[in-house]
Structures are given as C-alpha cells and as structure tokens.
A and B are shown apart, each in its own frame.
Chain A
Amino acid sequence: MSEEKTIVDDINRSVYDVIDKENSATRLEEGLNEDIIRRISEEKDDPDWMREFRLNCLKIYNELEVPQWGPGIEGLDMSHISTYVRPKTDMKNSWDDVPEDIKNTFERLGIPEAERASLAGVGAQYDSELVYHNVMKEVEEQGVVYTDFESALKGEYSDMVREHFMKLLVPTDHKFNALHGAVWSGGSFVYVPKGVKVSIPLQSYFRLNAKGAGQFEHTLIIVDEGADLHFIEGCSAPKYNVANLHSGCVELFVSKNAKLRYSTIENWSKNMYNLNSKRAIVEENARMEWVSGSFGSHTSYLYPSTILKGDNSTMEYTGITFAGEGQNLDTGMKVMHVGKNTSSVVNTKSIAKSGGVSTTRTSVQVMPGAKGAKSVVSCESLMVDNISRSDTIPVMDIRTDDADIGHEASIGSIPDDAVFYMMSRGMSEEDARALIVSGFADNVSRELPMEYAAEMNNLIRLEMKGSIG
C-alpha cells in the first residue's frame, strides 16, 4: 500500500449548515454589561431573586480569569456576542403551530420524526428560547414534569427549581459558569417522581441559528427515589464566519435507588465555541450513565462530571470525540468518589483527522472516606493521519487505602493490513477506513437508541469521507 497520504477537504454538512434568515423578535446588542443582564431579566420576567442572581454572576464573571489550561479561546470575543436572541414565536405544543421556517429546520434535522418514532417528549430550542415543547400524555399521567425552564421557574415547581438551580454548577467554579448564570435562557426542567420509570427517552434539541450569538440553556433534571429516565440532548448550528458561543449548564440530581442516562450527540457548527458544563450528583444505590458523542464545534471544553455521593452509587461514561479540520475538541469526564463502595467505569474514544486536535482529559478522585471505591478508565485514541494531534491527559487522585483503581490508555493508527484486507474484498479505501472508524466507535453507538446510533454513524461517515489516507 502506498505510504503517500492524500488529504481531501471536508465535505459539505448541508443538513446541519442550512441557515435560516434571522427573523428574531428581540436581539440584544453584542457585549456583556449590567444593562444587558437587566434587559435579559426583564425579557424573561425573572423573579427578583433570579435577577439578583444574574447580576451577582456578572460580577463573578468579571473577576474570574479565562482558563489557561485548555485550548485557546482568543477567537471568542464577548464584546461581539449577542447573549440573547428571542425568535419571533412563543413556545408551541404542536409542530403545526411552529413558524414554517423554524419548523422546516427541525424537520430537516429529523426531530419531529424522531418524536413520533421513539420519544416520550421533546423540547426544541431555537436561539435563546424554546419554540416547541410537548410530552406524551401517558408520561404526563405518570406525574413526570417535563417543561421549559422559564415555566418551571415561575410555576408549581419554582421552589424546587430555586433549591437546585446552579447548586451543583456553582458560578464561582469557572468563568463560563458565571457567564451562564448571568445570561442563561431556555432549557428544560424535568422531574421524575418516586418510583416512576420512564421507558421511552425524553429529548431536548438545541439549534442556534443567529449569527454571532450565544446560547445558554439550562437543563435541570431531578430523578426522585427509585425512578428511571433516559434523557437525550442534541445540538447543531449552521456555520458562520464569526464566532458563536454555546455555554449551557446541565445539572442532574439522581436520588436514592434511581437511574439516569444522559445521552448527547453534539454536532455544533465549526465556528462554535462550545464551553459547556454538566454535573451529576448521585445518591445511595443510584446510577448515572453518560453517553456522549462530540463531533462539531470549533473549540470544545466538555467534561461531564459526577459526584458519587451515596454509598453503592455507580457511574458509567461512554464517549467519543471526533476532531476534524480546524477543530480543537477538549473533552473527557470527571468523577469524584465520596460514598462507600462506589464504582465508575469510563470508556472514551477519540479520533483526530485532517489537522484536528483531540484532547481527552479525565480525572478520577477517590476521597479519604470512599472505602471500597472501584474505578476503571479506558482511553483509546485513533490517529487517522499525521497532520492531526491527539493527547490524553488523565489524573488519578487516590486518598484511601481501600480502593481499586485501574487506568489504561492507548493510541494508534488505522491498521494498514485491515484496510488492505477490506480493499482486497472489493471495498474502496475510503469505505474501508470509515468502516474501521465506525467499528472503533461501536461502543458508543451501541449505547444509543437505534435512530441516534444511525445518526452518529452517518456523522462518522461524513467526517471520514474527506480523508483518504
């Protein structure tokens, strides 16, 4: 086989890149100051405590430094980001009522079809606000609350929201948590009552259409004792020649004996700075599962974190990151073992191609009282060419004698003999390599509902089509 490598430009991702003409009802000017925060608060008719919370977050934002340990974000200038863009529609409960242009976008992304086929409820956010929200009657009858965040903030569950909002992801954690606290808009609130098992997933889909804008949705999920939920999050945006910003927050509370699976297929456009924060706290005998596929964005900082607080609590993280041309994706996970007999299983895969940079960053902390903690971390990286970069940066911090911690990491390339074998059976080199990469990502796609696994494999095929090597 030839040693020469041919690099071909990435192909068009037309489904995701379609730009709707911006037709917003409100678009606040670019930048970040107290006046803008007050206007967002007014637009959203915040309760007083929330307005004060936002203003305090702005102060914290201004005091904190930009993180120096990750990918450079010099291209992100907050003075050129509009933090709030309200689409020209309020939230609808039927796709028929959603304005045609917005509905077409979601149709192209297959959201209504997915809802009909395999979801118990859907929230669809367009720029800063939800434009569609619906939940199956049967699920509602089980007492499950799935609503837009603003309704939850002012409705029956307002106390619960106030009790939990940004308590896991505190604004002082880092600059972009503080930013989120100041300008958050949209997102979902989910409450699954005691013992209720939601057998079909709920999904939120986030679409950022406005050029030079930010999206700051907040997702708060509380799974009560013995309950069970699978929540799916999807995101995309068209590509612009200016920076867009996504800085969402996801806070997950998994009560005693409960189980939550949180799946994400992230496919932001390649001008997006994806500075997202996700954290779960897991009580006694409860289980948290993360499934994460990161394909898009220009620069990502994404590390879902889990606090295994309760005795016998468990966590499993399965993730894949695919960094192509012009992308610097810094992804991974964090877990902190606090309770006794906790366990975590982490399986990450990363692929770098066409000059992309993929960094897998993980931390496993076992606190002094976490007797009987077990953790197994596996990080595998695949280099598809020699113009890309792939780094693995794990940290283990172990502070108890009664722990069993394993970690393994490996890096390698697509084996030439496997490509040769498939080509000798009539496959093109491109298809052979795409198939090998799909196989490499198999552990993630197996964890997703079939429709989403198909979408992920399609994304891999799209990404691989550009590289013959």
Chain B
Amino acid sequence: MAEKIMINSLVPPTWNRLKVNETYVELPGAFSSAIEENLTEADAGKWKIETGCGKELSDYLENAGVKPVLANVRSGILNMIKPVYKEDSADIICIDIPENETVNILTDLTSDESTKATAVFQILIKAGNNSVVNLTQVIRPGKGLKLINDIGSEISGKAQVNLVQIFTDGSDINAGYRAELSGDDSFAGCRIGLIRSNGETLDMNYVMKHFAPRSKSEISVSGALSTGAKKIFRGTIDFVKGCAGADGTENESVLILDDTVINKTVPLILCTEENVAGSHGASIGKPAEDMLYYMMSRGIDKEKALRILERAALESAVSHIEDQTALEYVMNIINENEDNE
C-alpha cells in the first residue's frame, strides 16, 4: 500500500513557515528492480550507511523487501550503471572499493516519456583507505517518472569520493547525499550542475559529516531556473568534535531567469570542533547585465544568450568529471538536449 514518508530532513530544523525542514513523498508498497544485470545480493547488515534522504527512506525500502546488491565495478574502465525504468522500482547498489583502488562510475537515470512510475535509486559507497571513487550521475528522468536519487558514503583515511551530478530537464526529483568523512585526510567532493524549468521541482539534501582530522569537503552547485521551476538546496557541513584541521566549503551560484521560479537555499554549518575552517558562499539572481549586453552586442539574441549561460552552469560541474569517457558521454547528452530545444 502506498505510504507517505518524510525525506530530506534538515537537522537541525529552522522556522516551519519557510517550508524547508523536510519534504514528503508518496511511495508505492511494492517495488521491482530496474537493474537488468544480475547482481549479487549484499549482506544488508554490513551496509547500514546513512544517506542524504534519510533513515526513514532506508527503513521503508528494507520493510518493502528491497535487497541491497553489490555492483560489479573495476578499476581501469568506466563502470556504467543504467537502470531501465518501466514500473515502480527501487534499487540499492552497494559499491565497495578496496584500499588504493580508483574506480570510475557513471549512472544514467533516464526513462521513456511513456513511463509513469516512482523510482528510488540508492547508492551506498564504502571507500577504503587511499581509494578514489569518481561517481558521475546524469539525472534526466522522463516526465512521468518521479525519481528519488539517494547516496550514502563512508570514506576512509586519505580516500576520495568525487561526485558529479548533472540534472537536466525532466520530472520532479528528490535527491540526497550524505558523506561520512571517517578517515583522516579523507575527501568528499560534490559538484552539481542543474537546469530546472516547466514547473519541475528539485528537492535536495546534502550532508558532509566530518568525523576525522583534516578531512575535507567541497560542495558546489551551479544552475539555472526558469518557467515555474522550484528548487530547494539544503547543504550541511557538520564538524563533529575530534575533526581538528577539517575544512568544508559550500558554494552556490543560481541564475534565476524569470519571475515564476522559487529558489530556496539552506546552507548549514554546524560545529563542535575548535580548529576547523568552514565557509559558505552563495550568489543568486539574474544574469549579469553586462554579460548579456556583451553577448547581444556580438549578435547573440537574448534567448540564445540565456541558453549559453544555462549550459555554462552545467559545464561548471561537468569540468570536474575525471574520466574522459564519462565526460564525453555527459557532453553528448547536454549537446543532444540543446539540439532538441
């Protein structure tokens, strides 16, 4: 039976009237899997990793009988994960990276326009000491797919998890990411490029939890909103006592292209450790007049100039993609979208 559950909770919460403390989603009672490959079931007890969308979602999936599976990922290649969405589905993909290994993963979350369904796509990552995980996600569900994209990671000593997410036009999306920086000198990078329009919503909750000394996190969001789009970005840097020397930064740059959009930004910095450096910067508003003027004086009409700025917002995140094949894949999608427009 369908049930409404709370996800993307802001901890600690703030004024209720701002309507940013949490969001509610309706989930079906049963799910199929959208992964066509046969993957080995993971030991659920060993994969209790907190995610950005939160415990209520993980518990719901567990109660609905969704089993975590181990992804087959290898070093030296681009590991592609592309679910095929046809009906209500939920998948929990576990990615276990041993010490000193580097893996590149690309997930493409898309669906046919005809698909009417709800999908939960959850990735759980354990990054062993000194390992590197480069995870690129293209998130572009078709109009009928309500998508929850949720990630949790545990990052060991000197390990890195580099997440790049590209949200292009599509349906309503809820997204979460939580990185637990539990190893000394660990790193979590999170680069997000987003375009939202035509009344689409994007509800995000990203948490960087610094437990270990000298751990470092970087979140950057760049995007453009137009024609009734609604976006909430919650970004939390949490310095837990004991993470001396930790460093966390958040940056957001959002272009608002018309008067019909709602952009909410909630960048928290929480701190119980003395010796840390945390910072946040945001720039939200219309495109700079002088930049538009310059482009128009070179013969580019205003519409085209705005499309260029939208693309630049995505490319700011794309530029962080390490793997060349993944980069080309993402750029092809961006180019295709542009051609279609």
Partners in one complex: yes
Using A388-B272, A405-B285 as known contacts, say yes or no to A398 and B277 having CB atoms under 8 A apart: no
Task: Tell which of A388, A391, A404, A409 touches B285, judged by Cβ atoms closer than 8 Å.
Answer: A404
Given the known A-B contacts A363-B18, A403-B286, A404-B285, are A398 and B274 also in contact in the complex, defined by CB atoms under 8 Å? no
CA distance A250 to B20 in the complex (A): 27
B274, A391: Cβ atoms under 8 Å?
Answer: no
B285 contacts A403, C-beta separation under 8 Å? yes
B14 close to chain A: CB less than 8 A: yes
Say if the beta carbon of B143 comes within 8 Å of chain A.
Answer: no
**Contacting pair B267 A403 (CB below 8 A):** no
Chain B residues contacting A368 (CB-CB under 8 Å) are: 259
A413 touches B275 (CB 8 A): yes
Alpha-carbon distance A407/B235, docked complex (angstroms): 14
Q: Does B199 contact A (CB under 8 A)?
A: no
Residue-wise, chain A 363-374 has the 8 Å CB interface mask toward B (1 for contact) of 101001000000
For the complex, is B116 an interface residue (Cβ under 8 Å from A)?
A: no
Is the Cβ of A401 less than 8 Å from the Cβ of B273?
no
**B267–A407 touching, CB < 8 Å:** yes
Interchain CA distance A422-B189 in the complex, whole Å: 38
Report the minimum CB–CB distance from A168 to chain B (whole Å): 15
Q: Which B residue sits closest to A390, measured CB to CB?
A: B271
A8 sits at the interface (CB 8 A): no
**Is A69's beta carbon under 8 Å from chain B?**
yes
Which one of A11-19, A271-279, A377-385 is at the B interface? A377-385
State in angstroms the CA–CA spacing of A262 and B82 once bound together.
59
- Knowing A393-B268, A405-B282, say if A384 contacts B274 (CB, 8 Å): yes
Contact between A403 and B280, CB atoms less than 8 A apart: no
A interface secondary structure, majority? strand
A383 engages B282 (CB within 8 Å): no
Q: When A389-B271, A393-B268, A409-B267 are in contact, do A398 and B256 touch as well, CB less than 8 Å? A: yes
Do the beta carbons of B269 and A401 come within 8 Å of each other? no
Which residue from A69, A383, A396, A409 sits with its C-beta under 8 Å from B15? A69
Whether B274 and A385, one on each chain, are in contact in the complex, defined by CB atoms closer than 8 angstroms, is yes
**Do B258 and A401 have beta carbons less than 8 Å apart?**
yes
Interchain CB contact under 8 A, A396 and B282: yes
B277, A411: Cβ atoms closer than 8 Å = yes
Closest CB-CB distance, B294 to chain A, in whole Å?
18
A399 on the B face (CB < 8 A): yes
Report if A400 contacts B (CB, 8 A): yes
Task: For A386, list chain B residues within 8 Å (CB).
Answer: 241, 244, 272-275
Closest to B268 in A: A393
Most buried by B among A68, A385, A390, A411: A411
Contacts of A365 in B (CB 8 A): 18
Does B279 make an interface contact (CB < 8 A)?
Answer: yes
**Contacting pair A397 B12 (CB below 8 A):** no
* Closest residue of A by beta carbon distance from B252: A407
Given the interface pairs A392-B268, A395-B266, the reply to whether A412 lies near B284 with Cβ below 8 Å is: no
Q: Which residues of A contact B261 (CB under 8 A)?
A: 399, 401
**Contact flags B3-16 to A (C-beta < 8 A → 1, else 0):** 00000000011111
Q: Which residue of A lies closest to B275 (CB)?
A: A413
> In the complex, A69→B21 CA distance in Å?
9
Assign chain B's interface to a size class: 35 or more
Q: Is A442 an interface residue (CB 8 A)?
A: no
Q: Is B277 touching A412 in the complex (CB atoms < 8 A)? A: yes
Residue B72 CB within 8 A of the other chain: no
Determine whether the beta carbon of B14 is less than 8 Å from that of A361: yes
Q: Which residues in window 236-271 of B have CB below 8 A to A?
A: 239, 241, 244, 254, 256-259, 261-271
Q: Which chain A residue lies CB-closest to B280?
A: A409
Task: Tell which of A334, A361, A368, A394 has the most Cβ of chain B within 10 Å.
Answer: A394
Given A397-B18, A397-B262, A391 and B277 contact (CB-CB distance below 8 Å): no
Q: Is A2 an interface residue (CB 8 A)?
A: no
Taken together as a complex, chains A and B put the C-alpha atoms of A407 and B252 apart, in Å, by 9
Contact in complex: A391, B282 (CB < 8 Å): no
A-contact 0/1 string along B107-151, CB 8 Å cutoff: 000000000000000000000000000000000000000000000
Question: Which of B262, B274, B281 contacts A413 (CB under 8 A)?
Answer: B274
Q: Which residues of A contact B14 (CB under 8 A)?
A: 69, 361, 363, 393, 395
B69 on the A face (CB < 8 A):
no
Q: Given A386-B274, A401-B256, A412-B277 in contact, is the A394-B266 Cβ separation under 8 Å?
A: yes
Is A408 interfacial (CB-CB < 8 Å)?
yes
Across the interface, which residues of A come within 8 angstroms of B256, CB to CB? 398, 400-401, 403
In the complex, whether B103 has a CB less than 8 A from a CB of chain A is no
Q: Which residues of A contact B257 (CB under 8 A)?
A: 401
A383: B residues at CB distance < 8 A: 271, 273-274, 276
List the interface of chain A (C-beta within 8 A of B): 68-69, 334, 359, 361, 363, 365, 368, 381, 383-386, 388-413
15 contacts between A and B (CB under 8 A): A68-B13, A69-B21, A389-B271, A394-B266, A397-B18, A397-B264, A398-B284, A399-B262, A401-B256, A405-B283, A407-B282, A409-B279, A409-B280, A411-B239, A411-B276
Which 6 pairs, one residue from A and one from B, show the smallest C-beta to C-beta distance? A386-B274, A407-B282, A405-B284, A69-B13, A409-B280, A411-B278
